[in-house]
Structure 1
């Protein structure tokens, strides 16, 4: 029997209920637990996130060095444009306007509380047909 039964990425924020709604909608996840100071969600693919109340939380300042990236999330998607529209509609904001060239196309965003996350689209490795 494993000693560790579940792992979460925990984001500190002033309003965990509101931030949980943003990620629950983005990931089409379900809320699994909620207390006065913490909300947990799990998506269908098993991604587990928790949001902890910290009344003194300040958003990371990436790319500036002061209070810069403390942690960030990466999400793999099929359609960057469609996902970006959903993020903006849920209250997130783009942090970089251009795609990163290469095998992985990436775009960076901030959630409503200012935490950074990245969308990645893995380019197909098979030759294009037709």
Structure 2
């Protein structure tokens, strides 16, 4: 929750990931598929500096507001920095996983087109690829 009406009016609140997205990101981390563009712990630490967490999390408008509200912004900017870093990592991971799945599917379709596998094998392999990259 934002601590100031000015923050809401100027930049909005960083909501971070919902519980499903957090669970999905943890799943991809456990599978070794996660991408970490930003370190959430560093985002938290930088949030102690004037606007640092928000700037680190690419929330530049919020960073300026937090800079103006420093030291009061110490109450929320570490959380914003952590949430923003986690959100950046989630979206980078989703993009990475999507590219990997597309590449495997393209390879599989190529095998089918070259008659290296039949339709039954293709269907079975397609299900395996989908299961590998899907979070359920």
TM-score category by the smaller chain?
under 0.3
Return the structure number with greater helix share: 2
Give me the TM-score of the superposition, normalised by structure 1: 0.26
Bigger relative contact order (CA 8 A; separation at least 6): 2
Higher Rg: 2
